[in-house]
Homo-oligomer: A and B are copies of this chain.
Amino acid sequence: MRIPSVSAEGHDPWMVRHSAEETAAWLERSGLQDVRLLDVPGAHPAVFGHTSGPAGSPTVLLYAHHDVQPPGDEKLWNSPAFEPTERGGRLFGRGTADDKAGIAVHAATLQAWRELHGGPPVNVSVFIEGEEEIASPHFREVVMHPEVLPELRKCIGVFVPEAGQDRDGGVEVLLGAKGVVELELVSSGEKWGRGPAHDVHSSLEAQVDSPTWHLVQALNTLVEKDGHTPAVEGFFDKVKPLNAVQLQMVQEHAAKTAESTVKQVLGVQHWVHDANWQDSLALLVSKPTINIEGLVAGYTGPGGKTVLPHRAVAKIDMRLVPDMTAADTLAKLQAHLAAKGFPDIEVNMSGGYNPTETDPNSKLIQAHLATYRRLGLDPQLWPRSAGSWPGCIFTEAPVSLPAGHYGLGHGAGAHAPDEYYLIESANPKVQGLDGAIASFVEYLYALA
């Protein structure tokens, strides 16, 4: 966690490689075999390894990632982002919850199993990505790697370890995730053929077009008057509405979860469209979105500076639901901009992938549910995560495996300041480090 393995562009790529090497060394020390870095040109390296259970036992793939989000504004952290610090039973630091504790906890468990019993009760392959936080631009290539694909084909499914308990100890079993497309929209005088080719004095705006106004006008076409619903032509064409079973899951979750707590945590007074709690959860699960992650143009420092910027950028993420695809949605966005009079605006996709769906009746998901129940919990089935992970690479052909998240424990603050992972729990319903390890142990016995 001291290694700033930030995969975002502009950070130090050698730190991600350093993190991959240290992760590989850790897996080797934990007794895994055939540990190797998977190097695909231009990609931050992934790590692959394997440990054997009894002959004839099934194989499960553990998927995690060793890259992390940028720390953001370090002034908002109560301790340095890359100096893991324990306070009040929590380990604070970037990557603690998302996703390095998951690697450490499971590697330590596998090591203990090997030392005590000669190995775990099933075969475990471990696959640790290095680009999850930048929307996995090379993930398909890595998975299709001749050293990886045959290993995956041996598996009964893919599980993503997580400290999955909420503040009250509850757990969800996710049956999928939204897909995502991350991209930059760039308006520039150069590409537009209007406005200046470099920043000029702002007084010239009387005589010269502004690429920034051009971007504002282009962005404005992307959502409806409600300031929210995507207005890209055909955006909803392939959207599959929630089925009765999924709606039932939403209804049950709404009934069991305190809206006021969620609103307080998010700092939200009203849901979008003034939806009620249940409807807002249905939107969360079922609505594809176009979000502005960031805006950058001209002078961005304190106060003002009288420039007419030659370039303006909007950082966008689009979240996709079945049966939308990343490629099709990107093409629709490009076609929309061209049709609305903005063919010059660059659409630079940096990463993304399709939505993920997994069969609730698969062995993997049934093992998740059974283990949680054996541990005394009442897992809630959830149609899909509103966040994204590249599970589609596992769930779609040619791999075609079930995939899902599993694990007790608690963490928070992913992508935000003061990210933490719970070590010692004060609440008997929420597991700390020991309980997280125990839940993994139970899970592998259930699979066996």
Contacts and interface: CB of A to CB of B under 8 A. Distances in A.
Interface string A254-273: 00000000000011111110
A195 interface: yes
Nearest to A302: B10
A176 to B, nearest CB: 13
6 contacts: A69-B305, A206-B386, A213-B223, A292-B298, A303-B350, A306-B415
Given A206-B288, A216-B292, 6 more contacts: A72-B199, A206-B386, A207-B280, A207-B386, A210-B292, A295-B298
Interface stretch (A112-120, A307-315, A329-337): A307-315
Contacts of A228: 205, 209-210, 213
A351 to B, nearest CB: 8
Contacts of A387: 201, 203, 306
Contacts of A296: 295-296, 300
A448 interface: no
B297 A295 contact: yes
Contacts of A193: 269-270
A291 B304 CA distance: 12
B301 A8 contact: yes
How many copies of this chain sit in the oligomeric assembly? 2
Given A206-B284, A210-B227, A213-B223, A414 B301 contact: no
Contacts of A292: 210, 212-213, 216, 297-298, 309, 312
Interface string A276-304: 00001101111111011111111111111
A368 interface: no
Contact of A305 (B197, B293, B298, B299): B293
Nearest to A6: B303
Interface in A169-205: 178, 180, 182-184, 189, 193-205
A217 interface: yes
Contacts of A212: 292, 295
Contact of A388 (B198, B203, B210, B271): B203
A441 interface: no
A317 interface: yes
A196 B299 contact: no
A40 interface: no
Contacts of A200: 266-267, 416
Interface residues of A, number: 93
B135 A304 contact: yes
Contacts of A286: 206
A266 B302 contact: no
A201 B415 contact: yes
- 8 smallest A-B Cβ distances: which pairs? A197-B267, A10-B302, A9-B303, A8-B303, A294-B298, A203-B386, A205-B291, A295-B297
Contact of A209 (B205, B227, B307): B227
Interface in A352-410: 385-388
A426 interface: no
B291 A210 contact: yes
Nearest to A216: B219
A201 B208 CA distance: 38
Interface centre among A201, A203, A217 (most CB of B within 10 A): A203
Contacts of A156: none
A289 B416 contact: no
Interface string A209-250: 110111011011001000110000000000000000000000
B305 A294 contact: yes
Interface centre among A199, A207, A208, A269 (most CB of B within 10 A): A207
B300 A207 contact: no
Nearest to A180: B306
A2 interface: no
A293 B298 contact: yes
A369 to B, nearest CB: 24
Contacts of A435: none
Nearest to A298: B294
